[in-house]
């Protein structure tokens, strides 16, 4: 993706746009920040925020017709009431009452501004321009400032308040001075805000040099809109004067801009709870305000939470990090930390898919040559193993005719559950006329690593086999494979095993499988763990539930709730802590309970089981073969399992031990194996290091601990083993690795 | 610590480590004859791991 495309990728994101209350207010300010400060009791800071927009807060608040109340999200919730923002502002203003505004030393500008009309519109314009350093004079025909004010407001009090606010700036007032013609005024710019029915000086406007702006109530604006116009006039005049040319003449009548609440805010999910303990200094109403903002993606994504960033900021980070020749790439962990679960897209009201954005970034990062190969090295090697002759298999029952179904169990299913892989194929064979099977990898590790060419290579091989099989329907037991394969070829139809089984009840019958009411489930309580990739096929989650119910399980969560277990994207090597966060979130309500966590993704099952949940694979539950709290196999076993499945389905004898006979027995404790698994170190790698060291003598002897130490480079890592030897028995004491290479020249 | 291949005591020597086109030097035990190195776990898990993380973001 081009860098410029990252810049617009999340354009539709409305995070940080004004919430409905602010969107309809002519004098909107950063209401979220105001509320945050009011909650904390930081009154002075909160006051600064409202004053920058309201100019004369004490007067404006009293005159405010409360547009915000009509659009408050809280007010639209059943049985709830709009936030009383006006009273909150009043609390803030009351606490600052009587305090003179802060003065700043602003260099004076030479341009002269005249404001005709001492109402709130003209005064707002005058105040703002005076604060910029212009020489401002206000002409008011009456003796009091403030103009037409709502009933009940004391004009003298308002005049005094406004005068007090003007202490902060230099501004001249011509009270009881009525202007009859613009020719009476010498100014570079004039703002005409004479109020409803006031003179507009149109007849002599053309004879006046410089800038003329008209605004306020005479244009049909209400009081707050008039104030807004005054501020707009000030901003526009400032811009024009900064770029002013002597011959330039402007005669502008301001218009009231349209204001509309963004309807998307009303369909977001909000936390409506109110803080139980409100700090002494905090204002209670501030705790009722939900500070409405879209955080739908943020709430489902631990990655965004970790980096405290939203789509637009993430896109900016991508640009900064992917720029060529960067000395510091701040977003590397973010790029490498996306599990590509696409839950952000599912949650986003605009369906912005940050997973796609980060996938593109990962590919671009890899292709730039700056990505460490270690992040995905293990998984790419694992993919290569799946694609090797040891594990890959393509077989058609009757090769003389086209297959009707091609079973693609997925490489992680056969790695984790070899028997189940075989049994599930047997069930499928019952309903297929001429089934075919393809053991191998779908190529998603290459996609997740950003290796486009490797992904294409694996994809082309699958397509080639599928065509050789006569373009049959592809049935996969792995939702991740399904997600990856569904767009592989326009004519390739891929369905999940579960949807296929739901349509073929006759698949039931082996080991008390689906279709036998009251069958293998015996009413056991089950929480279905929907993998993130389950969204890739509409109805998959429902079909899984249907199959489990038919098999006699009691489902406690009928609504699909897809989420990521942390396996996706192979983020583990780059951000292990984030991987753990994903996993922990997935099991938080089922760990240490007797509820069965029924997963139809082998990766979710293994990750959940590793963390103590009674996680079982749905296929095993349907077939009645899944054990309680079965721990995932160790990494080397996973490869052996794939070899086993290949051997069974190819009807070939499987060699018991694929390694060479070294004449040594190498012992590794379970605890060390568990640590090696965490570091993605294979038992066979450790064996290889020790065998080589023993054969070549290239090892170090530590007399103190009576152990040998040897090492070897495997791909992107150097693995070290510490071991002792007694006769032909070798005991591995420790294994560790680092990513750097050591220069060992003599 | 002894190099089993050369049967000599290993001595501490400044050694170059490479990663992602960058180099860093640490004193580690080396065989004075063949150059074989020994990187203890503490070094791999502390200084080396820290520098690896930094270089991955360069």
- Indicate whether A177 pLDDT > 90: yes
- The confidence score (pLDDT) of residue A209 equals 66
* CA nearest to A140, candidates A198, A82, A214, A205: A198
Average pLDDT, chain A: 91
Q: Number of folded domains in chain B?
A: 1
B27 and A CB contact within 8 Å = no
Tell me the C-alpha distance between A145 and A671, whole Å.
82
Consecutive H or E run containing B35:
none
Tell me the C-alpha distance between A549 and A566, whole Å.
28
Average pLDDT over residues A135-161: 93
Q: What is the DSSP letter of A413?
A: H
> Above 0.90 for ipTM, yes or no?
yes
CB A497 within 8 A of CB A619: yes
Exposed (0-12), middle (13-18) or buried (19+): which is A656, by Cβ within 10 Å?
exposed
CB contact under 8 A, A742 and B39: yes
- Indicate whether A224 pLDDT > 80: yes
Tell me the C-alpha distance between A686 and A736, whole Å.
10
Residue A247 token pair: 């011959």
- Indicate whether A354 pLDDT > 80: yes
Tell me the C-alpha distance between A194 and A475, whole Å.
77
- Output the CATH code of domain A112-253: 3.40.50.720
Average pLDDT over residues A111-129: 95
- Indicate whether A513 pLDDT > 80: no
Kindly report the CATH number assigned to the domain that includes residue B38: 3.10.20.860
Radius of gyration of chain B (CA): 13
Domain housing B29: 2-56
Point out the residue among B20, B34, B48 whose CB comes nearest to the CB of A738.
B48
Tell me the C-alpha distance between A574 and A374, whole Å.
8
Note the pLDDT tens digit of each residue in A592-650: 678 899 999 999 999 999 998 899 999 999 887 777 788 999 999 999 999 999 999 99
Average pLDDT over residues A468-486: 97
- The confidence score (pLDDT) of residue A79 equals 85
- The confidence score (pLDDT) of residue A655 equals 55
Point out the residue among A327, A739, A744 whose CB comes nearest to the CB of B37.
A744
- The confidence score (pLDDT) of residue A627 equals 77
Note the pLDDT tens digit of each residue in A314-351: 999 999 999 987 778 899 999 999 999 999 999 999 99
CB A739 within 8 A of CB B47: no
Overall residue count recorded for chain B in this entry: 58
- Indicate whether A565 pLDDT > 90: yes
What string of H, E and C letters represents the secondary structure of A41-54? CCHHHHHHHHHHHH
Give the pairing type, strands B11-19 and B22-30: antiparallel
Point out the residue among A332, A574, A697 whose CB comes nearest to the CB of B5.
A697
Instruction: For chain A, positions 374-393, list CB contacts with chain B under 8 A.
Output: 375
Quickly state the pLDDT bin for A12 (edges 50, 70, 90).
Answer: very high
Average pLDDT over residues A200-217: 75
Note the pLDDT tens digit of each residue in A31-80: 999 999 999 999 999 999 999 999 999 999 999 999 999 999 999 988 88
CB contact under 8 A, A701 and B34: no
Residue A211 φ/ψ, nearest 5 degrees: -105, 135
CB contact under 8 A, B4 and A745: no
Average pLDDT over residues A543-569: 93
Nearest-10 Cα torsion for A459, A463, A466, A468: -130
Name beta bridge partners: A735.
A721
Residue indicated by tokens 């005058």 = A126
CB contact under 8 A, B1 and A370: no
* CA nearest to A674, candidates A735, A622, A728, A743: A735
CB A150 within 8 A of CB A144: no
Tell me the C-alpha distance between A536 and A59, whole Å.
57
Residue A499 token pair: 């949807």
Neighbours of A703 (CB within 10 A): 9
Tell me the C-alpha distance between A119 and A274, whole Å.
40
Sign of CA dihedral A520, A526, A529, A530: positive
Report percent pLDDT > 90 for chain A.
Answer: 77
B45 and A CB contact within 8 Å = yes
* CA nearest to A536, candidates A616, A444, A425, A638: A444
Higher pLDDT among residues A86 and A280, named by residue? A86
């Amino acid at each position: 993706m081009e860098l410029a495309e990252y810049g617009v990728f999340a354009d539709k994101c409305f995070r940080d746009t004004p919430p409905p209350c602010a969107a309809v207010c002519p004098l909107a300010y950063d209401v979220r920040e105001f509320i945050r400060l009011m909650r904390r009791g930081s009154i002075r800071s909160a006051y600064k925020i409202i004053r920058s927009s309201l100019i004369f807060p004490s007067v404006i608040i009293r005159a405010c017709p409360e547009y915000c109340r009509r659009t408050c999200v809280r007010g639209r919730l059943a049985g709830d009431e709009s936030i009383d923002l006006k009273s909150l502002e009043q609390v803030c203003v009351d606490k600052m009452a009587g305090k003179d505004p802060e003065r700043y030393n602003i260099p004076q500008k030479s341009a002269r501004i005249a404001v005709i009309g001492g109402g709130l519109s003209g005064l707002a314009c005058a105040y703002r321009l005076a604060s910029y350093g212009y020489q401002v004079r206000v002409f008011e025909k009456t003796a009091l400032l403030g103009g037409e004010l709502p009933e009940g407001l004391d004009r003298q009090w308002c005049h005094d308040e406004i005068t007090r606010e003007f202490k902060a700036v230099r501004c001249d007032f011509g009270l009881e001075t009525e202007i009859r013609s613009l020719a009476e005024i010498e100014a570079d710019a004039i703002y005409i805000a004479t109020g409803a029915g006031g003179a507009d000086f149109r007849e002599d406007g053309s004879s006046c040099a410089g800038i003329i702006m008209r605004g306020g109530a005479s244009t049909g604006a209400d009081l707050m809109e008039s104030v807004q116009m005054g501020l707009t006039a000030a901003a526009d005049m400032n811009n024009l004067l900064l770029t002013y040319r002597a011959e330039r003449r402007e005669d502008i009548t301001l218009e009231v801009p349209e204001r509309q609440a963004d309807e998307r805010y009303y369909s977001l999910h909000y936390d409506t709870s109110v803080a139980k303990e409100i700090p002494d200094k905090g204002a209670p109403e501030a705790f009722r305000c939900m500070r409405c903002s879209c955080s739908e993606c943020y709430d489902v994504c631990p990655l965004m939470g970790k980096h405290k960033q939203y789509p637009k900021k993430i896109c900016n980070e991508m640009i900064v990090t992917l720029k060529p020749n960067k000395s510091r790439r701040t977003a590397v962990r973010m790029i490498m930390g996306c599990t590509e679960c696409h839950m952000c897209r599912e949650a986003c009201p605009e369906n912005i898919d940050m997973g796609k954005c980060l996938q593109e970034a990962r590919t671009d990062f890899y292709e730039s040559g700056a990505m460490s190969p270690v992040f995905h090295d293990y998984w790419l090697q694992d993919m290569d193993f799946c694609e090797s002759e040891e594990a890959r298999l393509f077989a058609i029952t009757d090769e003389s005719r086209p297959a009707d179904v091609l079973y693609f169990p997925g490489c992680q299913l056969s790695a984790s559950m070899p028997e189940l892989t075989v049994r599930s194929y047997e069930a499928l064979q019952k309903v297929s006329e001429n089934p075919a099977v393809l053991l191998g990898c779908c190529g998603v590790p290459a996609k997740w690593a950003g290796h486009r060419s490797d992904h294409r290579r694996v994809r082309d091989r699958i397509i080639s086999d599928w065509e050789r099989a006569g373009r049959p329907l592809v049935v996969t037991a792995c939702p991740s494979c399904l997600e990856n394969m569904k767009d592989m070829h326009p004519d390739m139809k891929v369905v999940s095993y579960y949807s296929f089984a739901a349509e073929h009840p006759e698949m039931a019958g082996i080991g008390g499988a689906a279709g036998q009411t009251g069958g293998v489930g015996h009413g056991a309580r089950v929480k279905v763990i929907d993998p993130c990739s389950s969204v890739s096929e509409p109805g998959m989650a429902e079909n899984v539930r249907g199959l489990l119910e038919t098999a006699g399980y009691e489902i406690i969560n009928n609504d699909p709730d897809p989420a990521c277990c942390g396996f996706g994207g192979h983020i583990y090597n780059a951000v292990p802590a984030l991987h753990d966060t994903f996993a922990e979130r997935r099991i938080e309500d089922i760990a240490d309970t007797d509820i069965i966590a029924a997963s139809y993704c082998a990766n979710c099952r293994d990750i959940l089981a590793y963390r103590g949940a009674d996680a079982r694979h749905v296929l095993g539950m349907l077939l009645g073969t899944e054990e309680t709290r079965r721990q995932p196999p160790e990494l080397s076993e996973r490869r052996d399992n794939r070899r086993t499945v290949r051997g069974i389905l190819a009807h070939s004898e499987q060699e018991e031990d694929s390694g060479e006979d070294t004449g040594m027995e190498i012992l590794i404790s379970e605890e060390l194996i568990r640590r090696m698994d965490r570091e993605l170190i294979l038992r066979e790698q450790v064996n290889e290091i020790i065998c080589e060291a023993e054969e070549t003598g290239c090892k170090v002897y530590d007399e103190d601990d009576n152990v040998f130490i040897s090492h070897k480079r495997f791909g992107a890592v150097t693995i070290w083993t510490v071991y002792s030897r007694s006769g032909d028995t070798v005991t591995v004491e420790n294994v560790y690795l680092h990513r750097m290479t050591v220069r060992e020249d003599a | 610590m002894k190099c089993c291949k050369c049967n000599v005591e290993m001595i501490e020597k400044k050694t170059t480590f490479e990663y992602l086109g960058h180099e860093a030097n640490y004193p580690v035990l080396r065989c004075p004859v063949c150059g074989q190195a020994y990187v203890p776990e503490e070094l791999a898990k502390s200084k080396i791991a820290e520098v690896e993380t930094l270089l991955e973001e360069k």
